[in-house]
Amino acid sequence: MTAQDMRLTLFETYNSARTYDDVKPLVSGTLAQQYAAVASRDAPLIPDILAQQQLASYRPRVVEIDGRNSFLVLENVRPKRGGDTSAQAYLLVKDGAGRWTLANRMIPYSVIKSLWTRQFSPSDFNQPASCVIDGHEFSTQSALAVRRGPSIEIRLYPFEFTQADLDYWRQVSGVPGAVMVAASHFDGRIPTVCRVVVSINAAGRASLQNVGFDDQTGSLARSTLWQPSPATVSRLLFDHEVIELETAGALGADQTGFRWKVTVKLPVWQQGL
């Protein structure tokens, strides 16, 4: 069997498991901890938990990470129970003996592959910028550039990026060993975030598509984007892992419009499997 066949067979076995004894040798990491906790507390629940997670049909594909980790993404899902047809992803981990196990169950969209394959430090993201919303200036201190499909969204935050913030995103992405030892800015609601959206065409060329903001300070949240003039961009370079952007401009009247000044050089995170 190929490595991919072994991983598909592993999931097929898991998808037909009925008892804790069936599932125990198939899982590790977070899934092993979760099943062990249920087995010690209320073992008769496990058959029902398994039945709720199992699928009547699905289309699988494997996303490689490195020699020891990969994801099995399940699309076109039809569950055996319930009506949730959203895509799923299982983290597959290979032990020292070459045996694959299922270590975690995740939402494919939430995984940031870059955090699995590259190392970052808070200083990579701590870059000042500014924007003005309805006459109120926000001096931002850090930024994230996240690519989803053909667009990169740069979000500008009113705080300095910390190690706890990196640990937060590593946990969200299922990176083994990622532990938060301090509070992250992303644990709670961030009141106001300025945004810049860059579009990538089929040839890999980048262009500024939108500027705007998310505002959650009032009773009703606001999310607004505008299309700026190309003349607002002084510099825009993109090489798949890093983006450099220098842009400044204004839209509307000073007291009711939007103004921005952004000069950043950021790693680009790839989100989604």
Shared domain check, 139 and 13: no
- Asked whether residue 177 falls in the same domain as residue 249, the answer is yes
What pLDDT score was predicted for residue 72?
96
Q: Do 130 and 257 lie in a common domain? A: yes
77 and 28 together in one domain:
yes
CATH of the domain at 25: 3.10.450.50
Q: For position 135, what pLDDT does the model report? A: 84
Predicted TM-score of the model (pTM): 0.86
Domain count, the chain: 2
Are residue 123 and residue 87 in the same domain, yes or no? no
252 and 132 belong to one structural domain: yes
**Which residue numbers in the chain have pLDDT < 70?**
1-4, 253-256
pLDDT computed for residue 181 by the predictor: 80
Pair (130, 91) in one structural domain: no
Q: Are both 98 and 123 inside the same structural domain?
A: no
pLDDT in tens, 141-198: 999 999 999 999 999 999 999 999 999 999 888 887 778 888 999 988 888 999 999 9
pLDDT score for 96 = 87
Domain end call among 93, 108, 123: 108
Chosen domain end from 108, 137, 155: 108
Last residue of a domain, one of 52, 78, 108: 108
What is the domain extent for residue 136?
114-270
Do 202 and 146 belong together in one domain? Answer: yes
Q: Which pLDDT score, from 0 to 100, does residue 152 have?
A: 97
Per-residue 3-state assignment (H helix, E strand, C coil) for the chain:
CCHHHHHHHHHHHHHCCCCHHHHHHHECHHHHHHHHHHHHHHHHHHHHHHHHHCEEEEEEEEEECCCCEEEEEEEEEEECCCCCCCCEEEEEEECCCCCEEEEEEECHHHCECHHHHCCCCHHHCCCCEEEEECCEEEEECEEEEEEECCEEEEEEECCCCCHHHHHHHHHHCCCCCCCCCCCCHHHCCCCEEEEEEEEECCCCCEEEEEEEEEECCCCCCEEEEECCCHHHEEEEEECCCEEEEEEEEEECCCCCCEEEEEEEEEEEEEECC
Same domain as 178, residue 128: yes
pLDDT at 1: 47
Amino acid 254: pLDDT: 66
Q: Is there a single domain that holds both residue 100 and residue 128?
A: no
